[in-house]
Structures are given as structure tokens and as C-alpha cells.
Amino acid sequence: MAQKLVNKILFGVLVILIAILAYKIINPISNNISSPVVTTMEEAIAPEDEKEKVQDIVKEYLMNNPEVIIESIEQLQKRKMQEMEATVKNYIEQKKPEIENSTTFPVLGNAEGNIIIVSFYDYNCSYCKKGDSYINQVLEANNDVKVILRPFPILGENSMYAAKIALAVHKLAPDKFKIIHQGLMHMKPITAEAIEGLISSNEIDWISLQTEIHKPEIQSLIDKNFEMAGNLRIQGAPAYIINGTLFPGLVDFTQLQSSIAEIRSKLPQK
């Protein structure tokens, strides 16, 4: 929606500029100092017949040079993208300690690892499930990677319910979080009945868990993730931040390994 508005504004500005140019061609302003100065809006408006001439010139120019509009829109889009990337980068730099906060969110891998992957995910998302398998491969192949899990339940009530269950398990039975996390990632479809079965089979107190998920602290954690995702311009799941660089969308094992190797090469050697 925003992009359409930008395009309309750009088109309008371009038409106005061309109209001004055409009007000047039709009505050259005298350099004579004694020429009267236009002081009213009525005086600034061209007569109706001259307006038609301007419109014809604008129409002909646009018909003969459509690439001007396309190039202008492309340049505007490029500039807006660069501005957005700069804004996101600045936000990550300012909020790095908060983004990489591992005291309230679950952690996989090496808790002291100096390569940090922050994962925004939804248990109901098929791409997130693929992403989880790639993350598991990364953890098997690297002993210096720390993964911080930030549930980002954007796909409805079952996604929200699963996210709350996972965070509650992390709080009440942290030693069983990983198996519950993997169980939810492999669950198709996500249902309340299937989640209860997963919890019961791992001998976690269901009553205590139900009490926990309704506490405002659990909702607050998820709200923080939504707020952070908004500031990061994340529009879907999965998304990753790897040592301060945002990777929106699914990143496969090869890409993850390549990024990790590049980061590792820049870290101080012990």
C-alpha cells in the first residue's frame, strides 16, 4: 500500500515538473526588469487553451519517454530501500544487548558462543520448520554458535498457543524445553490436543503449565518480539539476526555456514 502511494506521489511530481517546463516553453518569461510580477494565484494560472497545450505536451512526452517514469520509480525504490536498511542497521546497533538477551528467551547450542543467531519463528510455519532443521545442522557442525529463540506467532491462535506453551516450558522445566521445541517443530498440524499429548508424554505438569501461559509475563515476552520485529521491518517468518546482520526469510544450511565462516574470520583470534 505504501509503495503504491509513493509511486503515485512520484508520478504526480514528475507530471508537475514536466508541466512547468512545458508552460515555460509556451510562455517564456521576459527578462525585462519592468515586467509585472505575478502576485496572485489567478495570475499564475494559464488560460484554458494554454492549459490544454501543456497537457498535450505532457501526454506526448510521457508517451514517448515512459522509461523516465520507470527509471525515476526504480531510483526512488532503491533510495527507500537503502534508507530502510540504514534504519534497521542503526536499530540493531542500538538495541544489540536487548536483541541478544538470552536471560528470558530459550537458547540452543553453546550458551557462551561468540557467533549468535537470533531466530524469529512461528511453530505453525512450514518455512520455519525447514529453518529449524538447518539450525540443527549448524549446531551439529559448529561448537561456537549460540541460538536465541524468539517466537513470533503470526499465523493465528494455534501459533500463539504453541509459542506460549514453549515459553512456559522454558520457565517451568527448562531441561525439557529442547525436546518440546523440537516436538512442536515437527507437529503437523499444530492443535491443542496434540500439544497436550506432547506435554503429557514428557511428564510436565499440565495444570501448572496452563496457569503459567495465562500470566502477563508470557504475553509480554511475545509482545516484545512483535515490537522488535516491527522495528526491524520483519514482515514474516522466519527471520534471523546473525551477529548484528538481519537475514529476512528462510536461510538454508549452506548460507548459514557461509555467513558463520565470514563472521568467524573477522573475530579476534584466541
pLDDT digits (tens, 9 = 90+) for 178-228: 999 999 999 999 999 999 999 999 999 999 999 999 999 999 999 999 999
- 124: how many CB neighbours lie within 10 A of its CB? 24
Cell 531441561 sits on residue: 175
pLDDT band at 17 (very low <50, low <70, confident <90, very high): low
Q: What is the pLDDT of residue 124?
A: 96
* Length of the chain counted residue by residue: 270
C-alpha cell at 179: 525436546
pLDDT exceeds 60 at position 12: no
What are 32-85's pLDDT values in tens digits? Answer: 444 444 444 444 445 666 777 777 777 777 677 777 667 767 776 677 676 677
Q: Which fold has domain 103-266?
A: Glutaredoxin (3.40.30)
Cα–Cα distance measured from residue 63 to residue 132, given in angstroms and rounded to the nearest whole number: 51
Query: 12 vs 104, which has greater pLDDT?
Result: 104
**Bridge partners, 247 (sequence order):** 240
First and final CA of the chain: distance in angstroms? 50
Q: Dihedral sign for Cα 121, 124, 129, 132, please.
A: positive
pLDDT exceeds 60 at position 158: yes
C-alpha cell at 128: 520455519
Q: What is the pTM of this model?
A: 0.72
Closest among 60, 55, 221 to 149, alpha carbons compared: 221
Cα–Cα distance measured from residue 23 to residue 18, given in angstroms and rounded to the nearest whole number: 8
Domain ranges of the chain: 2-28+36-97, 103-266
47: left (phi over 0), alpha (psi -120 to 50) or beta: beta
